Structure 1
Amino acid sequence: MTFDGSFTHAMVHQLTPQLTGGRVTKISEPYPNEVMLIIRANHTNYQVLLSANPNFARLQLTNQSFTNPPVPSNFTMTLRKHLQGSFLKEMHQVENDRVVHFHFTTRNEIGDETQLVLVIEIMARHSNIILVEAHNRNIIDAVKRIGADKNRYRTLLPGVKYLNPPQQDRINPFTMTNLELIHKLVHNFPAVNVLAEQLQTNFQGLSYETALSLAETIHNPNLEVNTAVTNFFANFDNPKPVIIKTSSDRLDYAAFPSPDHQVVTSYDTLSSLLDNFYQKQAERERVRELGSSLFQVTRTELKKNRRKLKKLKKTREQAQTANDDRICGELLMTYLNKVPAGATSVRLPNFYDENQLLTINLQPDRSANGNAQHYFKQYQKKKNSLQYVTTQIENTKTEIDYFENLTSQLELATPTDLVDIKTELTNAGYLHSKQKHSRARAKISQPEKFMAPDGTLILVGKNNFQNDQLTLKTADKRDYWLHAQQIHGSHVIIKSANPSPETLKAAATLAAYFSKARASANVPVDFTQVKHVKKPRGGKPGFVHYTDQKTIFVTPTPAAVTALRS
């Protein structure tokens, strides 16, 4: 079941008694197109998430924590100006559409009471959040401004009259009183799939999944059609939220279970359902959006350095022939009198190879001595370049290793981790910042905390800044340090000088999971005390050397990691 009109109906019905009469105490936009309202009602602070994200548009309460951007957006400032301190008078859904109006009572600059409406339209890529004046329907602002060049039906710009989304000539199933149409559809379309399509065509706010569930309920031989339909829509007023597994083994969610649903998990509220269902998906989407420039930089640098390494290796192969040039020069100097003038080549006995004849190419316009000097110069040039190229190859391999490590960190990053990675790339000169340079050191985010079965604290660095801070500054020298063996991954610290075998295994599982080997079945993880971990002079962020290590083999699983979260 998608967030269709019927699910919107259930959400509004559940939130209305909780939020009505509440006061807006805080407004933020933690991520683009997602507004967070803190509404205090019934002696409780509710986090109301209004998301116009094209992939995860929704309305819900949330218990998740969000980090606000250092500079609020213009839309956030507009909402704060007009809605901060206002009271939620009512909220209602437009028909059975995916449009919800929040009616707020506030006071304007001169102290007069005024009414404002915050509209959320949950319509995939057309989703939007719009602030409207109630008395004249003038738009104050929208999180996505839509001009006439993008939408001929309506514009969503400040000062323009707000128009509802285009209405479709369909029946609102929650207000219908005559079920004759449904009886007719059941008679004309006995197949469940076809009946679902017809229900979706004739009734408002039904996604195909909801219509299919309704069609299967209607075809229940133990229920009369009127009773089946009435009970089905009554369930949206008393939801029993569930995550279900579809016939294609895909996870989905529903406001209530149906006989055809394979229930995976049940929840007390629709909001807790959405928090759990969208947590990882929305987080990855935010990482993709916020970290697009970081992904681009790492991909570009990796491609550039891999291409550079290929050229350097070719140059090294050529430079490794330097000794051949030296031998040719020495043979020419030894047998000067045997080299005919103007010759293009000569065969001379090679005293380095049991006097086997060696063919030496010559430049006919040069004397024998001139050709010998040319070979000596080539020898010296290649010898010097070999030393330089060898150094460059090692440096390039270090760069490739560094960006491969960053790539793996980005794949596991949360939106908060991206700030550290962006700062790291900016400080290293790989990413140019539009902001003026600040002498204040960037605040490093905190490592993730886990708890071993015996209560021992385990810390996991999720990026290079966190890894360096955790290993080199935060950890006690007697603590234990872990890292997946010979592969990119997080630094893991056990806050104990004498961890139990169970704690070591738990920490090793975390080290394996937060590495590129997270999908492997048997991962070797090295562990040693922090005092044996050193950072080489001039080493890249997150890069260390360690000694006196031992190795433990573990199999990382998401369930094991979830069980260790503190």
Structure 2
Amino acid sequence: MHLNFYFLRQLAQALKTKLVGMQVVTAFSQNKAELILGFARGEEELYIRAQLGPHFTSLSFPTEFKRARANTIELLQEMQGQTVEDVVQHQNERSFYFILTGGYLLLFKMFGNRSNIVLYQNGEAIKLFLKKFPADAGLDPLQMDRPLQQNFAAFAAAEGNLRKVYPTFGDVPALYLEERGYSQAALEEKWELVQSMLDVLEAPEAYYIIRLQDKLRLSLLPLGEVVYTFQDPLEAANQYTRLYLSETGFRRQYEQAKQQLERKVHVTKTVMEQSEEKLQELRHNRSYSQTADVIMANLTNIPPRATEVELYDFYTDQNRRYTLKQNETPQKYAERLYRKAKNQHLEVKQLEEKVERKLEELIVLEDALQALSEVENYKQLKVFLKEYNHLLGSKQQEQVQIPFRVFESEGFKILVGKSSQNNDELTQRHTYKEDMWLHAKDVSGSHVVIKYQAGKTIPNTVLEKAAQLAAYYSKRKTDSLCPVIYTPKKWVRKPKGAPAGAVVVEREKVLLVKPENPFAKV
């Protein structure tokens, strides 16, 4: 209702009390679709900040305003030095105007995303703040009142249709009436409900910032969840504008960060899946080197210039048909296959490295999404955006830096710190209370974390492999057996002032394992 006729009428009355007798001292803009008007009387100052953007329109009234040194432009200079003589609200219309000395008049047309401010002199429009609405130059502020028949006869003729009789109500008053059974009431009862509500709208006891249908609204009626209550319409408008911009800014930046991270997770998963499919294809296809071995072992059994031959494949223990080139000797063919096998081996190695790298990136991105899900306000979001800026930047900044080792077993990701500082980062930033935390008992070593998966219990085989890694990356690496403690991360805390990597474990279990890297390639 911050642009509703009934609120604007209260606003105009409050402005009249403050502005009459004050002088226009400045009018400037330093943001798109924003006009700042400054008024003064002696040492008393008042500013009107009109934000007339396509997505949000509001008026707020700071008592002081610090003008930027750059990117600012002076506007409506003709009225500067003039004094406000009156503030007039149009009847049944979302607009009002200031009468100034010198024959000037300043119109505030508050029509949502078609709002504008127009300066007149001697009845002629001389300046439009937003020039994208040229038709506003044809408005006559002295002829914008909208008389409406709002008696019981008109109400009855319209059969209680609020839009026909009270088009200025808007959605909040309509919802207010619905909560009081308006639709089911008889005509006379509807009339009484409307008159009772009008008493409040025309002389509100307070101004409310409410949350209605998950949106922040300014209201003259206590509807939905009342967040704040004010006695002054100017203060209510100020706080509503501040809260709305803060909340919508938070939501916009939150959703933008979430979408960026989800997009990167999707791309990373797609690349990883494609690489894994290619790896499976290369690993399951018959190796070029095996075919070359069979050809070389049967050189004397292949007729000259043969294009097809059946040979015994000692890898599969069965005969197999091979296609040859007529103009290429079997030996040359085998040499070509060996070269292909070498390239295939390099491709497999590169794909394995790519899959491992994408897995590491995926873990960091999923951790960032988890951290974002715990953000509840703008202050926390600012901290998040600063910490995870490297994941949300341009393409040049998108390379994810992984400070720890990453392994995977039975679908569970296992992270291993590389140093004391990495251990801190792993445990404090990339680990959550449900994750399983492991460490070699009573000696220095890497922090190891098994990432939690909702609805799944960590298998003993995965726990044992993670414990082996914790033992392997510790001072007990050369022992025959090593005790490893494990516990959910919620029982691990870092004391204030403790050195890097140092933590306190409040509850623990112990697993005895052989120190080794179970993922090492043989």
Alignment-derived partner of residue 183 in structure 1 = 152
CA RMSD of aligned residues (A): 5.7
Alignment-derived partner of residue 329 in structure 1 = 292
Tell whether the 8 Å contact from 1:21 to 1:41 is kept in structure 2 after alignment.
Answer: yes
Tell whether the 8 Å contact from 1:483 to 1:526 is kept in structure 2 after alignment.
Answer: no
1:10 aligned counterpart, secondary structure? helix
Tell whether the 8 Å contact from 1:241 to 1:253 is kept in structure 2 after alignment.
Answer: yes
For residues 39-438 of structure 1, the aligned pairs below 5 Å read: 48-61=48-61, 72=71, 77-79=73-75, 89-102=85-98, 117-128=105-116, 130-135=117-122, 137-143=124-130, 145-146=132-133, 154=135, 161-164=137-140, 170-171=146-147, 181-188=150-157, 194-201=160-167, 205-210=168-173, 229=195, 232-233=198-199, 235-243=201-209, 252-257=217-222, 261=223, 264-268=226-230, 269-274=232-237, 281-283=244-246, 285-286=248-249, 307-320=270-283, 324-341=287-304, 342-344=306-308, 346-350=310-314, 356-357=317-318, 359=320, 361-365=322-326, 366-396=328-358, 429=396
Task: Point out where structure 1 has 5 or more consecutive residues left out of the alignment.
Answer: 106-113, 148-153, 173-178, 432-471, 473-477, 488-516, 535-545, 553-566
**Whole-angstrom distance in 2 between the partners of 1:7 and 1:423:** 46
Name the CA shift for 1:262/1:222 in 2 (closer, same or farther; >3 Å): farther
**Whole-angstrom distance in 1 between the partners of 2:69 and 2:259:** 23
Give the drift of 1:100: 3.0
Tell whether the 8 Å contact from 1:185 to 1:198 is kept in structure 2 after alignment.
Answer: no
For residues 470-489 of structure 1, the aligned pairs below 5 Å read: 482-483=428-429, 485=431
**Whole-angstrom distance in 2 between the partners of 1:293 and 1:212:** 32
Tell whether the 8 Å contact from 1:185 to 1:195 is kept in structure 2 after alignment.
Answer: no
Give the drift of 1:398: 5.8
Name the CA shift for 1:81/1:10 in 2 (closer, same or farther; >3 Å): same
In the alignment, residue 110 of structure 2 is paired with which amino acid?
A: I
**Whole-angstrom distance in 2 between the partners of 1:273 and 1:134:** 32
**Whole-angstrom distance in 2 between the partners of 1:101 and 1:402:** 56
Give the drift of 1:96: 2.9
Name the CA shift for 1:391/1:51 in 2 (closer, same or farther; >3 Å): same
Task: Point out where structure 2 has 5 or more consecutive residues left out of the alignment.
Answer: 399-420, 434-453, 455-487, 508-522
**Whole-angstrom distance in 1 between the partners of 2:81 and 2:145:** 39
The TM-score, its normalising length taken from structure 2, stands at: 0.58
Residues 451-484 of structure 1, C-alpha deviation per residue, up to 9 Å, x if partnerless?
xxxxxxxxxxxxxxxxxxxxx9xxxxx9xx9546
Tell whether the 8 Å contact from 1:196 to 1:214 is kept in structure 2 after alignment.
Answer: no
Instruction: Please identify the structure whose Cα radius of gyration is greater.
Output: 2
Tell whether the 8 Å contact from 1:485 to 1:525 is kept in structure 2 after alignment.
Answer: no
In the alignment, residue 255 of structure 1 is paired with which amino acid?
A: L
Name the CA shift for 1:34/1:338 in 2 (closer, same or farther; >3 Å): farther
1:267 aligned counterpart, secondary structure? strand
Give the drift of 1:331: 2.8
1:206 aligned counterpart, secondary structure? coil
1:373 aligned counterpart, secondary structure? helix
In the alignment, residue 9 of structure 1 is paired with which amino acid?
A: R
Name the CA shift for 1:256/1:279 in 2 (closer, same or farther; >3 Å): same
2:166 aligned counterpart, secondary structure? helix
**Whole-angstrom distance in 2 between the partners of 1:322 and 1:170:** 82
Give the drift of 1:334: 2.4
Residues 326-347 of structure 1, C-alpha deviation per residue, up to 9 Å, x if partnerless?
2222232223223455244644
**Whole-angstrom distance in 2 between the partners of 1:526 and 1:70:** 51
2:287 aligned counterpart, secondary structure? helix
2:74 aligned counterpart, secondary structure? helix
Name the CA shift for 1:531/1:56 in 2 (closer, same or farther; >3 Å): same
The TM-score, its normalising length taken from structure 1, stands at: 0.54
**Whole-angstrom distance in 2 between the partners of 1:60 and 1:24:** 17
2:53 aligned counterpart, secondary structure? coil
Give the drift of 1:12: 1.9
Name the CA shift for 1:372/1:263 in 2 (closer, same or farther; >3 Å): closer
Residues 340-363 of structure 1, C-alpha deviation per residue, up to 9 Å, x if partnerless?
55244644242xx5x622646433
In the alignment, residue 124 of structure 1 is paired with which amino acid?
A: G
**Whole-angstrom distance in 2 between the partners of 1:83 and 1:525:** 68
In the alignment, residue 139 of structure 2 is paired with which amino acid?
A: L
Give the drift of 1:184: 0.8
Alignment-derived partner of residue 11 in structure 2 = 11
Name the CA shift for 1:304/1:364 in 2 (closer, same or farther; >3 Å): same
Alignment-derived partner of residue 467 in structure 1 = none
**Whole-angstrom distance in 2 between the partners of 1:89 and 1:550:** 73
1:381 aligned counterpart, secondary structure? helix
Give the drift of 1:7: 1.8
Alignment-derived partner of residue 175 in structure 1 = none
Name the CA shift for 1:284/1:245 in 2 (closer, same or farther; >3 Å): closer
**Whole-angstrom distance in 2 between the partners of 1:383 and 1:295:** 39
Name the CA shift for 1:228/1:314 in 2 (closer, same or farther; >3 Å): closer
**Whole-angstrom distance in 1 between the partners of 2:18 and 2:106:** 17
Give the drift of 1:87: 5.9
Residues 161-185 of structure 1, C-alpha deviation per residue, up to 9 Å, x if partnerless?
452599889426xxxxxx8x51213
Tell whether the 8 Å contact from 1:524 to 1:551 is kept in structure 2 after alignment.
Answer: no
How many residues matched? Answer: 417
**Whole-angstrom distance in 1 between the partners of 2:108 and 2:35:** 10
Give the drift of 1:241: 1.6
Tell whether the 8 Å contact from 2:13 to 2:87 is kept in structure 1 after alignment.
Answer: no
